[in-house]
Amino acid sequence: MWKIVEETFNPEKQHHKETVFTIGNGYLSTRGAFEERFPAEMRATFLHGVFDDAPVVFTELANAPDWLELDIFLAGEHFRLNQGTLLSFTRTLDLRTATLTRDLRWRSPRGRETHLVFERFASLAEEHLCMVKATIRPENYSGRVEVRAGLSGEVDNLKLKHWDWVAQGVRAQEAWLQVKTCATKIELSAAMKLSMTVPGQRSHLTRLDVQNHPALAVSSNIKSGETATVLKWFTQYTSRDVKNPLKDSRRALQKYLLQDWAQLWEAHRKAWESEWERSDVIIEGDDEAQLAVRFNIFQLLIAAPRHDEHVNIGAKTLSGYGYRGHAFWDTEIFMLPFFIHTRPEIARNLLSYRWHNLPGAREKAKANGFLGAQYPWESAGTGEEVTPTWVPNPADRTSLIRIWTGDIEVHISADISYAIWKYWQSTGDESFLLERGAEVILETARFWSSRAEWNEELGRYEINDIIGPDEYHDHVDNNVYTNALACWNLKTALDLYSWLKEEHSSAWKKLNRRIRFNEKELEKWRHVIEHLYIPFDSQTKLVEQFEGYFQRRDVNLAKLEPRTNSVQALFGIEGANETQVLKQPDVLMLMYLLPDLYDHETLLVNYAYYNARTDHTFGSSLGPSIQAIMACKANDEGAYVHFIRAARADLFNVRNNAGDGIHGASAGGLWQAVIFGFAGLEHTSAGWMTHPHLPEGWTRIAFKIVDHGKELHFDVKKAF
């Protein structure tokens, strides 16, 4: 159960499949477009941190120069799948080795039949190296086979150009290209070599020095039944990585040229072997679940920055244009647990990104009249707020919709602190906490202490006019998720402060030089903690998602079935806002993150209430995986239905938007659903324990986690 296989090519599913067949290595990802191109494709390669300015969305990952292209001429006929006849087709993504293979037989318009096999990988062992190979076998003809391949700077982001040409060269067997992003001036340099081998034949090389598209062509005469093997080595560096990207990419190319495909692939394979060694989850008794869980883990792993602590993972990873590479709370709350527990070094990089971006968060707080650090809802290269303010209305494409999340979806500041705390608890990484994490927790606490408003009449603090995680309701007061997490952030900061002062006075002094903490602030913190309003009805045990939620119109969701669209699309933004229907259930999310706040009965009551009012199918893709966990906790048989909805999000394109890229939060949530839901992993005073809720048919879940540097193995089996 390691292979994602496609057996027919359907151009209508092209964009979805490009996403599914994305490969990557934590430095870059390349969508699964064809080497030879196809009309209306969305081929793209995204590199972490390579952002450039863009209208409306402020900044976006710039689609990098194309390294993948291979133009193939078979006895003079141009190979392309929109012409001729496809006699057979199989595309396979081997998750275990992160290698994409396409095996096909094609009959040209003139009747020439050829067997072609394409393979590609982005090396996990050497992150600046990518390789593509094609084997070409004429089946019923002999003739000249030519392959042209280059580095194309003629790329854009859905028509927006991000690269200025700087220089290029074609020398001996090498081509190179140097470009720069138009506004952010990030230099990218790439180099490549092309070779063709036909046993017993000499191949011929031509240099094609076309402006912004340096290329090489290799050709050879081939007899029917013989095979030509074409290899393309590709290296690249940017000015984010090194001082002289051109020199480094050309030097790296020379180094890798000393090795052939088999050697380079073997190093890559080994790197993946050790990756899976740490992060695989074995599920027995449900092949679909097994494959889907591995696929989603794979997506997290190919998006994970291993050597860069100045980047985060976008909501759509590096696999598509959706959300333009911007990062949300999706990373800290949904993806990070996987990294914390299997690859803590990667979690550290991701959290360090937030620490490096504290200046942007401080700016945002200050601009809004608050203290401390207010993290942006959408974050990219610099840590400034990059949520678009207005976007075209998808319903009519002419009017504009005001997006309020960047202004008032504030819970992300507490989410980041929460993730730092979880990382610390699981790793005991004291240097991280002392040098970086503590500063974020204290600065976000400061933000909350100033963001909470004192209501004189009711004698309580409130956090008003915000959006909670459930985005069907905006401009609400006292969203319980936000208030409870803010309170948690303040309490944690208070404890942390005492601990730092008492036990790490020199680290505290160093930190205090940066944050200039005034002891008087503590009084305010305590006051807010004691008086922050957290809605709860002790009679019914219901937690009201926000003030006035229960007065909104109740809708029987079952009566809307069958439907193919979200409740928001059916009722309109304002219409959905007036109902109790949720995009995702904030109260249950809160109970998941802070389980000690509520007893089991409260969980059951609220699970029943909110589960019935959530737009599970078309609401937030972040919802189903966590809902599966909460269903396990509530002993609800629906757990598997929620789980499989998340498992299929991208593989089956259930929301019809997988073409925009992988749903990274759903991928991370899926891992959590298996580990914390079905296996029921919990940290107790006696250590880690499992309380399994295996779905029907599942006979085993086996996985590892790392706790304080120690690897722990879990093997949960169904008792018969």
Strands 174-181 and 400-402: unpaired
Min CB(328)–ligand BGC separation in Å:
4
Closest by CA to 463, choosing from 449, 474, 452, is 452
User: Are the C-beta atoms of 315 and 330 separated by less than 8 Å?
Assistant: yes
Min CB(317)–ligand BGC separation in Å:
11
Phi-psi region of 475 (alpha: psi -120 to 50; beta: other; left: phi over 0): left
- Select the residue interacting with ligand BGC from 290, 620, 625, 657 (CB under 6 A): 620
- CA 180/CA 183 separation, integer angstroms: 9
- Written as six digits, the tokens of 503 are 């036990």
Subset of residues 639 to 668 that bind ligand BGC, contact rule: CB under 6 A? 665
| Closer residue to ligand BGC in complex, CB, 328/461 | 328
Three-state secondary-structure class, residue 302: helix
User: Are the C-beta atoms of 188 and 236 separated by less than 8 Å?
Assistant: yes
| By CB under 6 A, residue 330 contacts ligand BGC | yes
Min CB(668)–ligand BGC separation in Å:
11
| Closer residue to ligand BGC in complex, CB, 77/474 | 474
Candidates 31-39, 324-332, 359-367, 511-519; binding stretch for ligand BGC (CB under 6 A): 324-332
Question: Number of residues in contact with ligand BGC, rule: CB under 6 A?
Answer: 11
Min CB(335)–ligand BGC separation in Å:
11
- CA 232/CA 216 separation, integer angstroms: 10
Which residues on neighbouring strands pair with residue 42, listed in sequence order?
none
| By CB under 6 A, residue 230 contacts ligand BGC | no
Candidates 321-329, 425-433, 598-606, 647-655; binding stretch for ligand BGC (CB under 6 A): 321-329
| By CB under 6 A, residue 622 contacts ligand BGC | yes
User: Are the C-beta atoms of 148 and 217 separated by less than 8 Å?
Assistant: yes
- Select the residue interacting with ligand BGC from 295, 328, 338, 375 (CB under 6 A): 328
| By CB under 6 A, residue 315 contacts ligand BGC | yes
| Closer residue to ligand BGC in complex, CB, 664/692 | 664
- Written as six digits, the tokens of 337 are 């647990």
Is 127 designated active site? no
With a CB cutoff of 8 Å and minimum separation 6, the contacts of 556 are none
| By CB under 6 A, residue 424 contacts ligand BGC | no
Q: Is the dihedral of CA 647, 651, 654, 656 positive or negative?
A: positive
Residues 461-480: x where in contact with ligand BGC by CB under 6 A, - otherwise, as a string: --------x-x---------
Subset of residues 528 to 587 that bind ligand BGC, contact rule: CB under 6 A? 583
CB atoms within 10 A of CB 41: 15
Min CB(665)–ligand BGC separation in Å:
5
The torsion of the CA quartet 357, 335, 485, 704, rounded to 10 degrees, works out to: -120
Candidates 326-334, 438-446, 488-496, 595-603; binding stretch for ligand BGC (CB under 6 A): 326-334
Min CB(498)–ligand BGC separation in Å:
33
| Closer residue to ligand BGC in complex, CB, 112/642 | 642
Candidates 242-250, 267-275, 303-311, 328-336; binding stretch for ligand BGC (CB under 6 A): 328-336
Active-site residue identified among 69, 127, 471, 544: 471
- Cα-based angle 577, 580, 581 (whole degrees, multiple of 5): 80
| Closer residue to ligand BGC in complex, CB, 26/668 | 668
Min CB(151)–ligand BGC separation in Å:
32
| Closer residue to ligand BGC in complex, CB, 469/659 | 469
Min CB(330)–ligand BGC separation in Å:
5
Residue 504, CB-side half-sphere exposure with 13 Å CA sphere: 16
Scored b (16 or more CB within 10 A) or e, 661-683 reads: bbbbbbbbbbbbbbbbbbbbbee
- CA 44/CA 32 separation, integer angstroms: 9
Closest by CA to 163, choosing from 29, 59, 65, is 65
CA 311 distance to own-chain centroid:
12
Subset of residues 578 to 597 that bind ligand BGC, contact rule: CB under 6 A? 583
| Closer residue to ligand BGC in complex, CB, 34/329 | 329
Candidates 68-76, 239-247, 323-331, 425-433; binding stretch for ligand BGC (CB under 6 A): 323-331
Give contact residues for ligand BGC (rule: CB under 6 A): 315, 323, 328-330, 469, 471, 583, 620, 622, 665
Q: Provide the annotated active-site residues.
A: 471
